[in-house]
Amino acid sequence: MKKCSDFVLKMDESVTLAAANRAKELKTQGKDIIDLTLGQPDFPTPKKIGNAAIAAIENGKASFYTQAGGLPELKAAVQGYWQRFYGYEIDKQEILITTGAKFALYTYFMATLDPDDEVIIPAPYWVSYVDQVKMAGGKPIIVKAQQENHFKVTVEQLEAAKTNKTKILLLNSPSNPTGMVYSKEELKHIGEWAVANDLLILADDIYHQLVYNGAKFTAISSLSDEIRERTMVINGASKTYAMTGWRIGVAVGDSEIISAMTKIASQTTSNPTAVAQYAAIEAFSGADEDFKKMHAAFEERLNVIYPKLAEISGFEVVKPNGAFYLFPKVLEAMKIKGYNDVTEFTTAILEEAGVALVTGAGFGAKENVRLSYSTDLETLEEAVKRIKEWMDA
Ligand code: PMP
Ligand code: GLU
């Protein structure tokens, strides 16, 4: 008997989560593994956010369903957050609160794509975009950004990828996995191109506050009314407030699409967990001081680790200025060690050097590996030392 659907059999598991599970498994077996796979802040959720959750449990508010689209009080906190970080006002009808940003993305694709509609996804891309587009019946069109161009796509490349089926242009700045941040001018150029071609824009801004060394984040949605009208912004509490486990995502954009996405949420997850929503009210309203400390730690790690990684034979690294990843090209390193498959190379680093990374293959980059610096500096230094010694052996 064929138990699973063709649909799910064709789907890939998330490579980030699979790599993290493999590292955990080896650690459980007693192996000495440094795990740099997952992109999640290593800090505990700030105390005041946790206290808000405890209060919601104690006063009984967390016991019940909330509106499928999220608590009005949380939407009000998101409105304030938008004013602070995006500089424009939004209505509650333009907001959906979801079970993590990942589900916000999924509901967006489900709400907008008809069969074979095309979504332009610049590579290297975050692992889940491609499979989510396919799950929604759409067609991912990959445009490869070159490392030499700091992993940014150009309007000329987008123009070449466009067809009469293109519906959405996806942008993720700061980027997972490259850490690259588009400049205001670049986004303006791309945004105007999307307007001229009547495309929707999906802006995954989840790392918007995680920019370093003077780099500035620009929200494409803030650049003009015409761009904003066609842009769905995805954001959330996970990365900024060390809340990955709480699962709170946010989508902000066109109210008709938001209403369609809310309908999907109402038939699938219902509301995101009530207690997490009460915690998120505190996060979005004023955990900026807690964030600053985490931000300073990430910036220091980047500045210390980047030059050491760049010194390793065969590792070619562009210094990123956002998110918390380094994404070296390891083509030369693979040749030195006799590998021509980056996933096998990543497995060898895991098994022989004891450092868990994620293969670039899952991000649409077969010559790179991803290292997440969301762990303490001492551990990071030891990890880079292990990789260097393994390469030099
Ligand atoms: N977008 C990007 C670019 C991500 O890296 C992630 C992974 N954390 C998400 C969305 C999903 O975030 P969440 O954990 O809130 O689902
Ligand atoms: N987004 C994080 C990462 O890329 C978490 C894992 C996932 O959701 O894919 O590591």
CATH number reported for the structural domain that contains residue 29 in this entry? 3.90.1150.10
The mean pLDDT value for 219-236 works out to: 98
- Taking the centre of ligand 1 as the mean of its atom positions, its distance from the CA of residue 236, in whole angstroms, is 8
100 Cβ closer than 6 Å to some ligand 1 atom = yes
The mean pLDDT value for 155-172 works out to: 98
The mean pLDDT value for 67-86 works out to: 98
Among 262, 286, 310, which residue terminates a domain? 286
- Taking the centre of ligand 2 as the mean of its atom positions, its distance from the CA of residue 20, in whole angstroms, is 9
The mean pLDDT value for 188-211 works out to: 98
- Are 230 and 313 in the same domain? no
Exposure string of 240-264, with b = 16+ CB inside 10 Å and e = fewer, is bbbbbebbbbbbbbbeebbebbbeb
Instruction: Please report whether residue 158 resides in a domain.
Output: yes
The residue whose CA is least distant from atom 9 of ligand 2 is 16
Domain count, the chain: 2
pLDDT digits (tens, 9 = 90+) for 107-147: 999 999 999 999 999 999 999 999 999 999 999 999 999 99
- Are 360 and 279 in the same domain? no
- Are 24 and 154 in the same domain? no
Q: How far apart are CA 262 and CA 206, in angstroms?
A: 20
Instruction: Please report whether residue 84 resides in a domain.
Output: yes
306 Cβ closer than 6 Å to some ligand 1 atom = no
Q: 């220091």: which residue's tokens?
A: 300
Predicted pLDDT of residue 328: 98
Alpha-carbon separation of residue 285 from 85, 135, 388 (angstroms): 12, 34, 43
- Taking the centre of ligand 2 as the mean of its atom positions, its distance from the CA of residue 15, in whole angstroms, is 9
- Residues 284 and 74 sit within 8 Å (Cβ to Cβ): yes
Instruction: Please report whether residue 192 resides in a domain.
Output: yes
- Are 28 and 113 in the same domain? no
- Taking the centre of ligand 2 as the mean of its atom positions, its distance from the CA of residue 21, in whole angstroms, is 12
Token pair listed for 266: 């109402």
Q: Give the number of the ligand closest to the Cα of residue 14.
A: 2
Q: 């996405």: which residue's tokens?
A: 261
Predicted pLDDT of residue 11: 86
Instruction: Please report whether residue 238 resides in a domain.
Output: yes
- Are 174 and 227 in the same domain? yes
- Taking the centre of ligand 1 as the mean of its atom positions, its distance from the CA of residue 73, in whole angstroms, is 23
- Are 29 and 91 in the same domain? no
Q: What pTM does this model have?
A: 0.97
Q: Which of 125, 7, 200 is nearest to 141 (CA)?
A: 125
Among 286, 310, 345, which residue terminates a domain? 286
- Are 107 and 205 in the same domain? yes
Q: Give the number of the ligand closest to the Cα of residue 176.
A: 1
Predicted pLDDT of residue 120: 98
Query: Which is the closest atom of ligand 2 to the Cα of 100?
Result: 8
Query: Which is the closest atom of ligand 2 to the Cα of 102?
Result: 8
178 Cβ closer than 6 Å to some ligand 2 atom = no
Q: Give the number of the ligand closest to the Cα of residue 240.
A: 1
Predicted pLDDT of residue 286: 83
Instruction: Please report whether residue 1 resides in a domain.
Output: no
Instruction: Please report whether residue 182 resides in a domain.
Output: yes
Predicted pLDDT of residue 211: 98
Is residue 387 very low, low, confident or very high in pLDDT (cuts 50, 70, 90)? very high
256: containing domain: 47-286
Partners of 322 in the β-ladder: 211
Collapse the DSSP code of 243 into the 3-class scheme (helix H, G, I; strand E, B; otherwise coil) and give the result. coil
Angle at 15 between CA 11 and CA 21, to 5 degrees: 115
- Residues 248 and 236 sit within 8 Å (Cβ to Cβ): yes
Q: How far apart are CA 323 and CA 332, in angstroms?
A: 25
> What is the pairing mode between strands 34-35 and 355-356?
parallel
244 Cβ closer than 6 Å to some ligand 1 atom = yes
Predicted pLDDT of residue 315: 98
The yes-or-no verdict on residue 10 having pLDDT over 90 is: no
- Are 295 and 388 in the same domain? yes
Q: What percent of the chain has pLDDT over 70?
A: 100
> What is the pairing mode between strands 369-372 and 358-359?
antiparallel
Partners of 168 in the β-ladder: 119, 200
Is residue 207 very low, low, confident or very high in pLDDT (cuts 50, 70, 90)? very high
Instruction: Please report whether residue 384 resides in a domain.
Output: yes
- Are 254 and 365 in the same domain? no
Instruction: Please report whether residue 309 resides in a domain.
Output: yes
Predicted pLDDT of residue 249: 98
pLDDT digits (tens, 9 = 90+) for 274-331: 999 999 999 999 888 999 999 999 999 999 999 999 999 999 999 999 999 999 999 9
- Are 254 and 133 in the same domain? yes
Q: Which of 250, 324, 243 is nearest to 287 (CA)?
A: 243
